[in-house]
Amino acid sequence: MPSVGLGTYKARGAKLTAAVQYALAAGTRLIDTATGYRNEEDVARAMAESGSIAREEVFITSKIGPREMGADQAASALSSSLARLKTDFLDCIIMPMVNQIEVHPLYQQRPLREYCKANNIQVVAYASLGCGELLSNETVLGIAQSLGKTAAQVLLRWGLQSGCCVIPKSVHRERIQGATWQALSEWQLSPSQMKALNAMEAGQKFCWDPSTVL
């Protein structure tokens, strides 16, 4: 599973199709979608229009909703997802061996991540930028300035060095290009920089609370 991908939450239509094409052209090979995002057809359209990139070269992740759990419902949801994505297979359906959770310096979920690591469950972090709120954080900006990187890149690199896969969502070409594996893998945060970011833990969520889902 690639460590860096493109998130597609709340993105649809022509903007999403273009975003997926930007990501593929920039070298990204992980696309994250879900039945609940209602954009699988747009992902399929982008893949079809990408030209020379074979389906086997792209790792596509989808997710089934809470009301689609259970053997029969999940099988039906998977079949529908495959049809919408116009593919014979998915590389990952979010189930026990992958746990997609909100992770960023203000909400690090260390006990859960440690449990996942001990049980060979890969953590995929969403909301790595704190829904945009962390892009103006003084600690993050200071580190970014010292490295000549953007705040977003610092936050994504923190996620990678914390053992997570990251799936930043954007529909803007420049931001997508700055959030590829190539853009994030050739440098590292120092131990002191990691320590400063780790010290930001505040238990602050920005997204939905999965504990309320029945």
pLDDT in tens, 15-47: 999 999 999 999 999 999 999 999 999 999 999
pLDDT tens digits, 78-136: 999 999 999 999 999 876 879 999 999 999 999 999 999 999 999 999 999 999 999 99
pLDDT of residue 67 exceeding 90, the answer is no
What pLDDT score was predicted for residue 208?
83
Nearest to 107 by CA among 124, 127, 136: 127
Q: What is the pTM of this model?
A: 0.88
Question: Rounded mean pLDDT of 178-200?
Answer: 97
Instruction: Give me the pLDDT at residue 91, please.
Output: 95
More confident residue, 196 or 209: 196
Q: Give the number of other Cβ atoms within 10 Å of residue 110's Cβ.
A: 11
Q: How far is CA 23 from CA 6, 32, 50, 133, 174, in A?
A: 7, 12, 10, 23, 10
Compute the residue count for the chain.
214
- Hey, what are 158's tokens? 């923190």
pLDDT value at residue 213:
60
Q: What pLDDT was estimated at residue 206? A: 95
- What mean pLDDT is predicted for residues 157-166? 98
For the chain, what percent of residues have pLDDT higher than 70?
Answer: 98
DSSP readout, 79-97? HHHHHHHT-S--SEESSTT
Label residue 66 by pLDDT band (50, 70, 90): confident
pLDDT band at 185; cut points 50, 70, 90:
very high
Q: Name the DSSP class of 149.
A: -
Cβ atoms of 60 and 87 within 8 Å: the answer is: yes
